[in-house]
Structure 1
């Protein structure tokens, strides 16, 4: 049995579509023993994690027209920002790219991810820029004063990830560990949300593609395509959304032992078109391989499953 997206859209329009979260359909499988295409039309999936491949593009008036020729460098709350290719000559405007993983020159524990959340929360940020003619311009700004503010991703929402361990004899600073990574295999850190991951539920990207609507940090956004380092066996996504519509609860900064990183959230609806997609949706954490890698050299040294991480554990953060 194969269905068309148009058919599912019509069922949604008529109010007859069955839309379930991934955990709901998993519970249905546990209770019934089987689930067929007749039981569900759309499954909602999501992931929230440290998303290193995240950046913002901001464009706004910095000073009065004619006050400087063009910007050569800039910082926002001390976080480095890179002027865009458009010169905006003598317009007093500035276009900036800010990496979610950049670190403030004033506060080593503050980075781009923290800045993005503070802007979305309505906070005020200090912009410092230097022009090509040597002028230094400074102003305070809020998100409502930035007409163009988008979050982009170079690669987000990997089809799960891996677990890391440190088999060496010395501790190691790493973005994959909140504290210094202890030696002698004393601890493991895990990335990936297992069965609720969007790409895990559509592993061949049959329904996720250019133009797919998503929620990025709570704001309606769009998939632009696959991201950098995306492979057919391990795809990830590139997307964008307007910062003005984002919810700060779903984003922010995260301090690792190697410095600040950026948290992001994706939510993606998966139309259940065929048995291939349904079988991927029904795959449980215990069925999803989890590769264990040496964090020092990124080489595989073992394997486990996401069931060992997520099944029958207390998820409360203390």
Structure 2
């Protein structure tokens, strides 16, 4: 078992937060601090590091209840602004996915230059306080006789509305290029032919799971910043890979860990939750997530000292390989290279384009930092670990 020169507890850190004595840095500030002081001194001086990401997260959605009015009904079909929601739950519970397109704007009509309205936009509209049109249909039963419901609703009208996202905060991801001779339209954005651009998605040194790559502090029950409100990590997300290849810093070199998260939409701020129309692909949702990392010891401090130069991303072809399930990696580039605006692929320099917003990711980390420093946000002890092997 590893021994540490520095040993803190979450309870001790929370007490410092309550007294206004906690030292809180965002993840970029911590990178500089670890370089300046070394991991042991940084662990002694810093209590919490705040991380942040603001990016398109397709595996997101809203679990909600529409309430009952006489005569009551058991919903079998439901739409919000013509976007279908899944209602095979209880009588008036439903789930609206961020990538579900409006029925009058189905995926087979998606093409470059055309705006697509979908579930992500409904979610943003509700958080903005806008009214959306709810239409529900039912087959009718003795205990639930109503067969139709048509009305406008706001978020305040819904008894319950939670953002429940099955897969957010991907720990590393692909840098996407296109080796074919035509432009293709993907969830990573448009990719020009013959590798004339490279798109990538991560906030790098600010990203939550790069700052805790071995899941030493993030687990089930971790309290987080979610779209401007307080949320929680439910556990590992879908497609979570607990044993990816790692570099010498312990950072995965392929897509790896993911998180499932939950938060009350009535606390959220639409600045950090935005419906998007991805050109030629469909609708989705940009989500702001910030996770605090308690600096319990020097090992955790060292991991939060990660820099963009330490992060290597795999380059993959989305023209042929990705859609055909070919796992080939064309090479690796560092996030520092990607953030410079240019990388080298097959001996050629090509522009690199971020899909994740760095300014908004930094804003998320700084907003969470402010909450903690103001004593409005305490850290939580995970009730269960997220699987991770090294």
Same fold (TM over 0.5): yes
Partner of 2:311: 288
Is 1:71 aligned to residue 82 of structure 2?
no
Q: Secondary structure at the match of 1:71?
A: coil
Partner of 2:55: 49
Q: Bigger shift: 13-22 or 194-203? A: 13-22
Partner of 1:13: 18
**Residue 15 (structure 1) shift:** 2.7
1:124-273, aligned counterparts within 5 Å?
124-133=131-140, 135-177=147-189, 179=190, 181-232=191-242, 233=244, 234-256=256-278, 257-273=280-296
Q: 1:204-262: CA deviations, max 9, x gaps?
A: 11111111110110111111111111112321111100000000000111211211111
Q: 1:90-136: CA deviations, max 9, x gaps?
A: xxxx2111001111122461011111111000000001111114943
Partner of 1:101: 99
Unaligned runs of 5+ in 1: 89-93
Larger RCO (CA within 8 A; separation ≥ 6)? 2
* C-alpha separation in 1, matches of 2:236 and 2:259: 4
Is 1:116 aligned to residue 84 of structure 2?
no
* Total equivalences in the alignment: 306
Q: TM-score, normalised by structure 1?
A: 0.90
Q: 1:155-183: CA deviations, max 9, x gaps?
A: 10111312100111222221111x3x221
Contact 2:34 2:301 in 1 (8 A): no
Contact 1:213 1:268 in 2 (8 A): yes
* C-alpha separation in 1, matches of 2:197 and 2:266: 39
* C-alpha separation in 2, matches of 1:226 and 1:316: 27
Evaluate the alpha carbon distance shift between residue 271 and residue 316 of structure 1 in structure 2; reply closer, same or farther with a 3 A threshold: closer
Q: TM-score, normalised by structure 2?
A: 0.74
Is 1:305 aligned to residue 305 of structure 2?
no
**Residue 309 (structure 1) shift:** 2.4
Q: Which is richer in strand?
A: 1
